[in-house]
A and B are shown apart, each in its own frame.
Chain A
Amino acid sequence: MKKRNELALHLIGEVGHYILEANPKRLVISLHLEDDGFHLKILDDIVRSDKEIEEMNLMLHETQRPELAGYYGSMTGFETLGHARLGMVGWQVKHGEVRHRDGGSQIDIWLGGEQFDPPHFTIPADKA
């Protein structure tokens, strides 16, 4: 449980850092917790181009890199220098998705442990 909460905090920190770099007026973070993972939803009022959304999706769709996530992933949410790196989030999550939303953008991140069971999270069945 402690590990899950710690990871959630780090991911919120990194994604929050990423959004804040775009200087939004509104940022809403919603966290849906399960025993074996969580669903993180982030809403902002930044209107991004299709290309930007695609780039963000690519970063969040990084293949899982356990060797990087388990070691360098510990920097996630701790970086105060330079730009936030969504790619570091991408290695560690089961699924991530970015899309346009009324007057802004929505980021969904799902994370589960070894026993990850998509129906327990709000992940769309076709994306699991």
Chain B
Amino acid sequence: MTAVKVGVIALQGATRPHLEALHALGAHALEIRTPEDLAGVEAAVLPGGESTTMSFLLDSSGLREPLHDRIVNGMPVLGTCAGMILLADKVLDGRDDQRSLGVIDITVRRNGFGRQRESFEADLLVEGLGGEPFRAVFIRAPVVERAGSDVEVLARVEGIPVVCRSGKTTVCSFHPELGDDLRLHAMFLESVR
């Protein structure tokens, strides 16, 4: 079986840790900066970073529309932190001109967990990853304030959804790429095969 080709949207943010995690799981991980790069992959990851910056670069690179169309047409996608914000239907406390891709029916509040001084690590149980807790790193993380009826919530922190899935779109408000635990990436790759 040939390796799955997965693209990490490399406009800005923590692309390298995602590339390494995907590579370690046997995927063929590629950086995506242009519509041509996107055309060659079967799935995509939107990494953490600054969603305002990425939103600007999605427009200037011409990636916004083709990325949106691919996802709507069934391409599996994983969004972490800023990636979650970019995939969300509605963003609160963002910039007025900030546009999200609107491919998962959730409302998120940007930096809802606070500034860097409130950033934290926690062990949490994620549905579908077995009984072992997942060490999650939250950095200026967004808060999911509403999840639509077709959205599965796979993990929560103090009642707040932190991993959500709808169809082939998975989002989490923390950074699975910053630890050694690859189970969330593995679950995502399962959805590609």
Q: Do A and B bind each other?
A: no
Which positions in A face B, CB cutoff 8 Å?
A: none
Q: Contact residues of B with A, CB < 8 Å? A: none
